[in-house]
Amino acid sequence: MSQINVRVDGVDYTDDVEPRTLLVHYLREQLGKVGTVVGCDTSNCGACTVHLDGEAVKSCTVFAVQADGSEVTTIEGIGSADGALHPMQKAFHEMHGLQCGFCTPGMIMASIDLVNDNPDPSEDEVREGIEGNLCRCTGYQNIVRAVQQAAAEMNGRTAGAAETMGAQA
């Protein structure tokens, strides 16, 4: 066992983990952060995406011990303390960017990182930015619209849903 100190969604934890424990399993099984999901066993789907020190990572590709001393943010840590949704969550809801929702936690975490790096992504840039995240339901069009709407809100622009949808139609 190895001891790790990690801050997850704003709370400090000290835990013993097996050296082979993956970060996603630590989050789900030891911390109960089941909003972060496992969608494959090949590191391909992106459903397990979290932020590690502010960067999107597939948490099934990182050992928990590698997060020692780091800050992890999951889908459960991005909303406001008062329960308000993050702008990316709100945009996915408003633009119907999900169907079954299984890919959505990872898709949202990857999309926030994308918008942090590129405040005004084009459709092609959104598609490229989320190419590591697979969705089996939506066909991606509404996901792209949601990311662009959230990018506008996160960066103080006024592009509304109708305008965004009209531009993409």
- Binding residues (CB under 6 A) for ligand FES: these are 38-40, 43-48, 58, 60, 98-104, 135-138
CB of 108 to ligand FES, least distance (A): 11
> Which residue's CB is nearer to ligand FES, number 34 or number 100?
100
CB of 12 to ligand FES, least distance (A): 25
Neighbouring residues of 4: CB distance < 8 A, sequence distance ≥ 6: 13, 14, 15, 16, 17, 64, 65, 67, 68, 69
CB of 59 to ligand FES, least distance (A): 7
CA distance 90 to 161: 11
CA distance between the termini of the chain: 54
> Which residue's CB is nearer to ligand FES, number 20 or number 166?
20
> Which residue's CB is nearer to ligand FES, number 46 or number 121?
46
CB of 140 to ligand FES, least distance (A): 9
> Which residue's CB is nearer to ligand FES, number 21 or number 104?
104
CA distance 163 to 155: 16
